[in-house]
Amino acid sequence: MKDNVDISVDFAGVKLANPVFTASGTSGYADELADFVDINLLGGFITKSITLKPRKGNAPPRIVETDAGMLNAIGLANIGLDKFIKEKLPILERMTTAVFVNVAGETIDEYVAVVERLATERVIAGFELNISCPNVAKGGISFGTEPGQVSEITSAVKKAVGEKILIVKLTPTVTDISVIANAAVEAGADALSMVNTFTAMVIDIETRKPVLANRTGGLSGPAIKPIAAYLVNKVYNEVAKKNRIPILGGGGIRTASDAIEFIIAGASAVAVGTANFIEPDCTTKIIEGIKKYCVRKETNIKELIGSLGK
């Protein structure tokens, strides 16, 4: 019975076998992680960020470990749209899981150009708009911290996605995330993804310099989980629920109970990030754990979403 328990979810019209995604940038283009986990068991897969042109990325050191977390400043290193279409899309076409492409750029036109090229690809269920990367000089987080900019980029990309769904990924490094979420929803976002990493710094006390070559990086991992869960609940209550917009929630999820916390907080689906680096097959354990919870509590995902008590 446990095996056939239904934990499927409807995510902005896309039917997912379960609510568990791998987060962008923590599962490559699928081929790398496929050595360790059956990608098709996931509810959804999100590629690492794709930009119009290839990006070299930041100088090393690009990561540093912190207590219960890590900082990264990769700088959106990626193979670029052309190579993605030629080399990675054929791999993704063999997937039965819902595939989302994370899109980044320095200008709105770049975002639109990437989405236009990919909007007719059958395998792609939708796009995740990265307006929250803290580690690039141009674009990235600068699009995601001001409501007017969020609105402008969201509506421009929405026109290019065609039938596909548009998820807007939010940065938590703002005064009021609900204002940003509202701007994205009003401009046509079909779903919200939250949260991206928190801008942070680690200092080497011997050299009195930041450890990362980029000086700052994005904090991820278990350290951010309670903050992320709070922000998901806030946006669910203030924006998502009344607009019937699903949230892809995440931040430091390692276990099934972590994932369930986010669903109770208001997420329709969850994204697992840093934990993939430590246990590449952790998502399958999380999926099984959610099923067991649903059986034990005689509940289902739909009933769980946003069920946080007073």
Binding interface with another protein (CB under 8 A): 25-28, 32-33, 35-36, 48, 56-70, 72, 74, 77, 221-222, 274, 276-281, 285
Name the residue nearer to another protein (CB basis): 60 or 226: 60
- Find the shortest distance in angstroms from Cβ 33 to another protein: 6
- Find the shortest distance in angstroms from Cβ 259 to another protein: 18
Name the residue nearer to another protein (CB basis): 38 or 93: 38
* Range 280-285, long-range pairs (CB < 8 A, 24+ positions): 280/33, 280/35, 280/36, 280/37, 281/36, 281/37, 282/254, 283/20, 283/22, 283/37, 283/41, 283/42, 284/37, 284/38, 284/41, 285/255, 285/256
Name the residue nearer to another protein (CB basis): 25 or 249: 25
Q: Please count the other Cβ atoms lying within 10 Å of the Cβ belonging to residue 51.
A: 24
CA distances from 54 to 49, 50, 104, 114, 206 (A): 11, 8, 11, 12, 36
Q: Of the listed 70, 133, 264, 282, which one is catalytic?
A: 133
Judge whether 133 counts as a catalytic residue: yes
- Find the shortest distance in angstroms from Cβ 252 to another protein: 10
- Find the shortest distance in angstroms from Cβ 245 to another protein: 29
Query: Tokens for 39?
Result: 């990608």
Name the residue nearer to another protein (CB basis): 54 or 188: 54
Query: Tokens for 112?
Result: 């639109």
Name the residue nearer to another protein (CB basis): 57 or 188: 57
Burial annotation 63-78 (CB, 10 A radius, 16+ → b, else e): ebeeeebbbbbbbbbb
- Find the shortest distance in angstroms from Cβ 48 to another protein: 8
Q: What is the C-alpha to C-alpha distance for residues 14 and 185, in angstroms, rounded to an integer?
A: 18
**Enzyme catalytic residues:** 133
